[in-house]
Amino acid sequence: MTRLLDRLRIWLSGSRRAPFAVSPSSLAVLGRQIATTQEVEYACDDVYRLLDQFAEAVLRGDNTAPWMPLIRAHLDRCPDCRAEFEALMQALRSPVS
């Protein structure tokens, strides 16, 4: 991982042409994501399959951190899945007409 980050720093410094455009802020986000990568992680499809169960557990007030740590970790890092989860929570909290 250090070697990859070193290569990206060289490309960003301009001493070598990058094969793709990378902004410093994008590199910072990428670095944080790499640093928080776990050995076992859920992909978006995995999270999507369990999102309704997870949302219901949150609404019940269950402590979801130990119950589904891989989902919680994914939602903390993935803005798309987090937006889906927040929309689902809003729908579940809305009163039925």
Q: What is the DSSP string of 28-47?
A: HHHHHHHHT--SS---HHHH
Amino acid at 72: R
| pLDDT surpassing 60 at residue 95 | yes
Mean pLDDT, to the nearest integer, of 17-45?
74
Which pLDDT score, from 0 to 100, does residue 2 have?
Answer: 54
Q: Are 47 and 77 in contact (CB under 8 A)?
A: no
The rounded mean pLDDT for the chain is 80
**Where is 59: in which H helix or E strand?**
helix 44-60
Lowest-confidence pick of 12-16, 40-44, 47-51, 91-95: 12-16
Q: How many CA atoms lie within 13 A of 7 on its CB side?
A: 7
